[in-house]
Amino acid sequence: MNNPQLNKNGKLQHLLTTEGLPAPILLKILDTAESFVGVTQRDIKKVPLLRGKAIFNLFFEPSTRTRTTFEIAAKRLSADIVNLNIAASSQSKGETMLDTVNNLSAMNADMFIVRHSQSGAAHLIARHVRPEIHVINAGDGRHAHPTQALLDMFTIRRYKRDFHNLRVAIVGDILHSRVARSQIHALTTLGVPEVRVISPKTLLPTKVERLGVHVYHDMEQGLKDVDVVLMLRLQNERMLGARLPSAEEYFKHYGLTQEKLALAKHDAIVMHPGPMNRGIEIDSAVADGKQSVILPQVTFGIAVRMAVMAILAGN
C-alpha cells in the first residue's frame, strides 16, 4: 500500500493523517515547531519563510478555531492566505468539491488546508491536485485531524519530555472523533507504551483495540496512574439518538472531575482539543485547574501548524 502522504524520496508531500507516518517525520515536525514557539512569542511575530506562497483555507465545514490558527500560522510565515468558507458559497451553487479545487489550483495555489465533513475528503483532493501542490488535512469526517494530534504530541512532550514511559488515556466519543484516531496513531508511533480509551460501548468503534489501545468502560479504572488525560468533545447531537440517554448521566460516568482526576498520577496533565462543553465532558474546576494545559495547547497549535507548512513547502 503506497503511502499517499510521502513523495518518491520518502518526504512529506501532504499531511493527511498521522497513520503510517514514520516517527522521524513526526519528531521533525515537533522539533521544527519548537523553533517557531520562540517566533510566536517575539514582538515581531513573523518570519519570511513562505513569502509569496499562496495558501487556501478550504473549509467545507464550519470552523472558527482551526481555521483561525491556520490563518495566523500562515501569516507568521509571511504567506498569502485566503479563507474560503465553502459551506456557504460554491457548494450551494452545485459546484463539486474537485471543481472548486481545480479553480483554485488555476489561481496558482501552493497549498490547500482542507476541512470537510466526510472522511477521506483530503485524500481525494491530494490524489487529484498537481504534484507541486501540498494538502493539509484540517479534519475530515471521523477520520483524521493530524495537526490537532501533532499539537497534542508537542504539548505532551513539553510537559512530559519523553514518550517512552507514559500512560495516556483518551476519554469520550471515540467513535465519531477524528481527533482520537489521529492521537492514537501518533501516540503509538512515538512509542507510548500504554494508550487507553475510555468510553461507553455506544461511542466506541468496532475492533478499536486493533489500533493498539486498551479499552476501558469504567473511567475510574481507566484513569488509574495515567500521565496524560486527553478529553474529547461530546457533540450535543449524540444525545438525540439512542447512543446516550442524557448529558447528566454522561457527565456522571465520563465527565472529568477533580475526584476522578485524583486517580491519575499526581502530576498528570489534562488536555482538550476544544471547544469544551463544561459540565458535560469536563468540570470547570478541572478545565481551569492547575493540571490543565488546555490553553498552552492552543498556543502551541500555531507553532505546530507553522512547522507543518514550512516543512511541506520545503519538500
Residues of this chain that bind other proteins (CB under 8 A):
1, 4, 19, 96-98, 116, 118-121, 123-124, 128, 140-144, 178, 181, 205-208, 210-211
Q: Say if residues 74 and 45 touch (Cβ distance below 8 Å).
A: no
Q: Quick one: 98 or 298, whose CB is closer to other proteins?
A: 98
Buried b (16+ CB within 10 A) or exposed e, 62-75: ebeebbebbbbbbb
Q: All 3 cell numbers of residue 60?
A: 467545507
Q: Which residues contact 256 (CB under 8 A, 6 or more apart)?
A: 171, 229, 231, 270, 281, 282, 283, 286
Q: Which residues in the chain belong to E strands, given as ranges?
A: 54-59, 80-85, 111-116, 134-140, 167-171, 194-198, 214-216, 228-231, 269-271
56: which DSSP letter? E
Q: How far is the CB of 298 from other proteins (least distance, A)?
A: 24
Q: How far is the CB of 126 from other proteins (least distance, A)?
A: 9
Q: How far is the CB of 41 from other proteins (least distance, A)?
A: 35
Sign of CA pseudo-dihedral 64, 97, 177, 187: negative
Q: Quick one: 85 or 91, whose CB is closer to other proteins?
A: 91
Q: Quick one: 201 or 290, whose CB is closer to other proteins?
A: 201
Rg of the chain taking only CA atoms, in angstroms: 19
Q: How far is the CB of 275 from other proteins (least distance, A)?
A: 20
Q: Say if residues 134 and 312 touch (Cβ distance below 8 Å).
A: yes
Q: How far is the CB of 97 from other proteins (least distance, A)?
A: 6
Q: Quick one: 12 or 264, whose CB is closer to other proteins?
A: 12
Q: Quick one: 211 or 263, whose CB is closer to other proteins?
A: 211
Q: How far is the CB of 195 from other proteins (least distance, A)?
A: 15
- State the Cα–Cα distance between residues 75 and 66, nearest whole angstrom: 14
Q: How far is the CB of 171 from other proteins (least distance, A)?
A: 18
Q: Quick one: 210 or 290, whose CB is closer to other proteins?
A: 210
The alpha carbon of residue 145 and the mean position of all alpha carbons in its chain are separated, in whole angstroms, by 4
Beta strand 194-198 with 167-171 is parallel
Q: How far is the CB of 152 from other proteins (least distance, A)?
A: 17
- State the Cα–Cα distance between residues 152 and 267, nearest whole angstrom: 17
- State the Cα–Cα distance between residues 297 and 61, nearest whole angstrom: 22
Q: Quick one: 205 or 296, whose CB is closer to other proteins?
A: 205
Q: Quick one: 98 or 239, whose CB is closer to other proteins?
A: 98
